[in-house]
């Protein structure tokens, strides 16, 4: 039985020692890898025949950083900061050989080495902010010395990887190669040794010039990410490079990193990281299936959603048949897709000569027959069950497949991965997960508008909570007629005993459909998407409440947030109980990736668990007392979890 290869190995290539990390799938710098690095470095230093050292990784990429799973455990020595310092202090030159991506602690480790050789196309990044953290192993001090303060701060604050050959990353590498990077790094190390150059410690490099304006600009950007503590900590940590000795600044950053690890925001962001990866894992249903080849797709419906799906499919290299019953709407959709690619070219994100090839893969027609030779058909018609039934009965007539449900599911999951999207598998029940929960939020928003709130009250309460956009502004963006047509919403608003809210009907009847008609809950200047409070809506609301004998009152933001979120969380209890989705975390993934739920709050169920399910139950019961069981009956799962002191996501 062959033993697993060591996580870190030491070998020799002439007078160059080769330290190789082999910790699939992403060479995370776990405790054992860190210990292995120290041992290998000591071995290379002690070996008299060794004149230089190369640090490389096996597999498709250099290190993806620290092992995020370890952040829920007490820190274990050797700490990454110390490991990197050992490499930086090495008496022999150390050359990092970079390929794939070097992220977080992996980028910091490379910056701690004395020289860096990278394969062209390698991406480097400090994405810690996406986990509610900051680079805690010296990156806040070494990156500014290599790429300048402005570029380093941008990297740390937007968390986006950069290509090593991007202009702003010029100072990071000593050589970019198109050949085998490990061999190139060994040759580079030999030349350094031959030339007697010795170690070039990043910490001793001169500090690049920087003006206070640079820090101020990034601080303003950091403050815009209200609700998350890490961004401002990052700016403060990098600024210490100016105010204090290197080692002190590194120690402070490590202390900040350890403190941020314990914040609820970082715990939520780490949960979201793993929940999204978990969601992509096929459950038992798909495990037995094998994905079918995917070359051609058909999209039924040329509206905003259909256009977006067609673009994602084209970007993933598929042929696309866009089917839209109304020829004028089809032409409009094709024109808008063309305009999209012109915009992408104008932004420099695509070469203009790539567009004709993409558009050539787009065809379509008014008849559903155009879908006959598609490997996959995606229905994107508006929320009308009658229209959907008609589409599927026509499809049944032309698209016969022998794909088993497991194959079909495996093919769907493979397609989602190919589109670089996050997919959640759920049962085909009305409203699936997101829309079904959204309905409860929409209902409560309309009720609160009747009771005294104004659109801006509700939207500011939810944006304060962390949503990028408030529910009413989102309604205006999507079009109020879309929600109005939703039969389930109508049932909630008009057919449950004790309340009949026709507010949405009134707006639709007065053709206030949102941005597309220049007025909805807000009014919009021509060509602008900026919502402007509209006195006409306020008057409409006051008149509506008067007619209904509702005494308007000021509704506090806490109540607005509770009624918007607890209805959704309670509904998620029903969704889980009915087995519509198998993993509770998938509910959060849907809201994080599809409905703009603030990531640093982890999602509706992570948020509920943080508050305590017993607290959520008590609040739902209090709302039932006030508004009646027709609207606020606690889900049996919520009651059971509270009784057992458990959360949606576990003990
Ligand atoms: N730690 C632990 N597991 C990780 C991991 C990590 N850093 N990165 C990925 N995984 C797991 C992931 O959960 C999945 O597991 C598998 O690897 C493949 O990942 C001290 C504080 C590298 C671009 O934020 O962005 O360093 O689901 O599906 O699409 O300053 O993973 O198969 O069981 O995403 O090819 C900073 C996080 C850490 C990078 C690859 N680093 N990773 O994408 O595969 S904090 C990051 C990624 C830090 C220091 C600080 C991506 C990827 P499973 P995948 P992929």
Please give the number of the atom of ligand 1 that sits closest to the Cα of 61.
22
Task: Give residue 506's pLDDT.
Answer: 92
Task: Give residue 484's pLDDT.
Answer: 83
Output the residue whose Cα is nearest ligand 1's atom 24: 127
Q: Give the β-pairing of 296-300 and 319-323.
A: parallel
Of the candidates 508, 521, 527, which has an alpha carbon nearest to the alpha carbon of residue 460?
521
Output the residue whose Cα is nearest ligand 1's atom 35: 26
Output the residue whose Cα is nearest ligand 1's atom 49: 105
Q: Do 94 and 53 meet the contact criterion of CB atoms below 8 Å apart? A: yes
| Ligand 1 center to 584 CA (angstroms) | 22
Please give the number of the atom of ligand 1 that sits closest to the Cα of 278.
27
Task: Give residue 496's pLDDT.
Answer: 77
The pLDDT of 295-319, averaged and rounded, is: 94
Cα gap 286→61, rounded to integer Å: 29
Buried/exposed code over 124-159 (b: 16+ C-beta within 10 A; e: otherwise): bbbbbbbbbbbbbbbbbbbbbbbbbbbbbbbbbbbb
Question: Which of the 8 DSSP states describes residue 425?
Answer: -
Output the residue whose Cα is nearest ligand 1's atom 16: 25
Cα gap 646→651, rounded to integer Å: 5
| Ligand 1 center to 342 CA (angstroms) | 34
Catalytically annotated residue among 70, 108, 278, 343: 108
Catalytically annotated residue among 70, 128, 390, 525: 128
Helix (H, G, I), strand (E, B) or coil at 204: helix
N-to-C CA span, the chain = 39
Which of 21, 24, 25 for a ligand 1 pocket mutation test, highest count of atoms within 8 Å of Cβ? 25
Segments in 121-225 forming alpha helices (H):
139-147, 149-158, 181-194, 212-224
Angle between helices 613-627 and 557-577 (to 10 degrees): 110
Lining ligand 1 with CB less than 6 A are 25-26, 28, 64-69, 80, 101, 103-105, 108, 127-128, 131, 133, 135-137, 139, 257, 274, 277
Q: Give the β-pairing of 52-57 and 94-98.
A: parallel
Q: What percent of the chain has pLDDT over 90?
A: 83
Instruction: Decide if 108 is catalytic.
Output: yes
Q: Where is pLDDT greater, at 372 or 133?
A: 133
Task: Give residue 534's pLDDT.
Answer: 97
Output the residue whose Cα is nearest ligand 1's atom 37: 64
Task: Give residue 404's pLDDT.
Answer: 61
3-state secondary structure 172-199: HCCEEECCCHHHHHHHHHHHHHHCCCCC
Among the listed ranges 26-30, 390-394, 582-586, which one has the minimum average pLDDT value? 390-394
| Ligand 1 center to 64 CA (angstroms) | 6
Output the residue whose Cα is nearest ligand 1's atom 27: 277
pLDDT in tens, 227-261: 899 999 999 999 999 999 999 999 999 999 999 99
Q: Do 92 and 199 meet the contact criterion of CB atoms below 8 Å apart? A: yes
Which of 68, 107, 271, 586 for a ligand 1 pocket mutation test, highest count of atoms within 8 Å of Cβ? 68
Type and span of the H or E element at 272: helix 264-279
Please give the number of the atom of ligand 1 that sits closest to the Cα of 280.
27
Beta-carbon count within 10 A of 231 CB: 23
pLDDT in tens, 65-96: 999 999 999 999 999 999 999 999 999 999 99
pLDDT at 501 over 60: yes
Which of 23, 25, 26 for a ligand 1 pocket mutation test, highest count of atoms within 8 Å of Cβ? 26
Output the residue whose Cα is nearest ligand 1's atom 30: 135
Type and span of the H or E element at 538: helix 535-547
pLDDT at 403 over 60: no
Angle between helices 557-577 and 604-611 (to 10 degrees): 110
Cα gap 445→461, rounded to integer Å: 11
Helix (H, G, I), strand (E, B) or coil at 170: helix
pLDDT at 402 over 80: no
| Ligand 1 center to 367 CA (angstroms) | 45
Q: State phi, psi for 298 to the nearest 5 degrees.
A: -120, 135
Enumerate residues 6+ apart whose C-beta is below 8 A from 353: none
Is the peptide bond preceding residue 210 cis, with omega within 30 degrees of 0?
A: no
Please give the number of the atom of ligand 1 that sits closest to the Cα of 139.
30
Q: Which two tokens stand for residue 294?
A: 């995917």
Calculate the average pLDDT of the chain: 94
Buried/exposed code over 317-343 (b: 16+ C-beta within 10 A; e: otherwise): ebbbbbbbbeeeebeebbeebeebbee
Among the listed ranges 60-74, 417-431, 478-492, which one has the minimum average pLDDT value? 478-492
Please give the number of the atom of ligand 1 that sits closest to the Cα of 136.
30
| Ligand 1 center to 589 CA (angstroms) | 17
Cα gap 591→275, rounded to integer Å: 12
pLDDT at 139 over 60: yes
| Ligand 1 center to 279 CA (angstroms) | 15
Q: Which two tokens stand for residue 17?
A: 């020692």
pLDDT at 401 over 70: no
The pLDDT of 37-49, averaged and rounded, is: 98
| Ligand 1 center to 62 CA (angstroms) | 12
| Ligand 1 center to 278 CA (angstroms) | 12
pLDDT in tens, 167-187: 899 999 999 999 999 999 999
Please give the number of the atom of ligand 1 that sits closest to the Cα of 81.
20
| Ligand 1 center to 132 CA (angstroms) | 14
Question: Where does residue 380 rank: exposed (0-12), middle (13-18), buried (19+ CB within 10 A)?
Answer: buried
pLDDT in tens, 586-618: 999 999 999 999 999 999 999 999 999 999 999
Instruction: Decide if 213 is catalytic.
Output: no
């Amino acid at each position: 039985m062959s033993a697993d290869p060591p996580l870190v190995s030491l070998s020799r290539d002439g007078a160059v020692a080769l330290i190789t990390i082999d910790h699939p799938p992403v060479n995370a710098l776990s405790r054992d890898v860190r210990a292995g690095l120290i041992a290998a470095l000591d071995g290379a230093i002690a070996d008299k025949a060794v004149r230089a050292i190369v640090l490389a990784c096996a597999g498709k990429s250099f290190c993806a950083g620290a092992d995020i799973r370890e952040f829920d455990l007490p820190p274990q020595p050797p700490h990454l900061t110390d490991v990197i310092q050992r490499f930086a202090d090495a008496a022999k030159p150390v050359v990092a050989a970079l390929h794939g991506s070097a992220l977080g602690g992996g980028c910091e480790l490379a910056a701690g080495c004395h020289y860096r050789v990278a394969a062209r196309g390698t991406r480097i990044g400090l994405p810690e902010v996406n986990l509610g953290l900051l680079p805690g192993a010296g990156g806040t001090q070494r990156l500014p010395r290599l790429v300048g303060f402005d570029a380093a701060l941008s990297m740390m604050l937007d968390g986006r990887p950069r290509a090593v050959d991007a202009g702003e990353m010029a100072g990071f590498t000593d050589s970019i190669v198109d050949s085998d990077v490990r061999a190139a790094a060994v040759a580079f190390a030999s030349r350094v040794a031959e030339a007697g150059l010795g170690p070039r410690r990043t910490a001793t490099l001169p500090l690049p010039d920087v003006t206070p304006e640079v820090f101020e600009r990034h601080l303003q950007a950091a403050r815009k990410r209200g609700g998350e503590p890490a961004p401002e900590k990052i700016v403060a940590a990098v600024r210490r490079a100016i105010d204090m000795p290197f080692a002190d600044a590194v120690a402070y950053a490590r202390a900040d990193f350890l403190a941020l690890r314990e914040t609820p925001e970082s715990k939520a962001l780490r949960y979201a990281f793993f929940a999204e990866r978990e969601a992509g894992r096929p459950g038992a249903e798909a495990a037995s299936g094998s994905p079918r080849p995917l070359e051609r797709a058909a999209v039924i419906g040329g509206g905003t959603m259909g256009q977006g799906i067609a673009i994602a499919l084209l970007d993933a290299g598929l042929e696309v048949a866009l089917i839209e019953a109304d020829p004028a709407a089809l032409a409009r959709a094709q024109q808008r897709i063309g305009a999209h690619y012109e915009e992408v070219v104008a932004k420099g994100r695509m070469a203009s000569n790539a567009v004709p090839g993409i558009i050539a893969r787009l065809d379509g027609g008014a008849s559903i027959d155009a879908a006959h030779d598609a490997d996959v058909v995606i229905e994107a018609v508006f929320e009308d069950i009658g229209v959907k039934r008609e589409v599927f009965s026509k499809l049944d007539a032309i698209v016969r497949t022998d794909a088993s449900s497991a194959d079909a599911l495996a093919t769907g999951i493979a397609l989602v991965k190919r589109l670089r999207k996050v997919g959640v598998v759920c049962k085909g029940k009305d409203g699936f997960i997101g829309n079904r929960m959204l309905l409860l939020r929409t209902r409560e928003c309309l009720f609160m508008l009747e009771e005294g709130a104004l659109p801006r009250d509700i939207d500011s309460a939810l944006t304060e909570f962390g949503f990028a956009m408030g529910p009413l502004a989102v309604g205006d963006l999507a079009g109020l007629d879309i929600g109005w047509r939703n039969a389930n919403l109508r049932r909630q608003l008009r057919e449950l005993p004790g309340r009949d809210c026709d507010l949405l009907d009134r707006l639709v009847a007065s053709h206030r459909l949102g941005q597309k008609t220049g007025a909805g809950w807000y009014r919009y200047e021509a060509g602008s998407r900026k919502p402007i409070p509209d006195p006409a809506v306020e008057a409409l609301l006051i008149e509506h409440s008067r007619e209904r004998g509702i005494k308007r009152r000021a509704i506090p933001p806490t109540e607005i947030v509770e009624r918007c979120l607890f209805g959704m969380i309670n509904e998620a209890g029903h969704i889980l109980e009915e087995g519509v989705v198998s993993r509770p975390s998938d509910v959060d993934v849907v809201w994080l990736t599809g409905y703009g739920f603030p990531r640093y709050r982890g999602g509706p169920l992570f948020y509920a668990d943080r508050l305590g399910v017993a607290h959520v139950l008590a609040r739902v019961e209090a709302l039932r007392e006030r508004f009646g069981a027709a609207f606020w009956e606690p889900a049996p799962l919520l009651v059971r979890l509270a009784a057992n002191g458990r959360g949606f996501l576990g003990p």
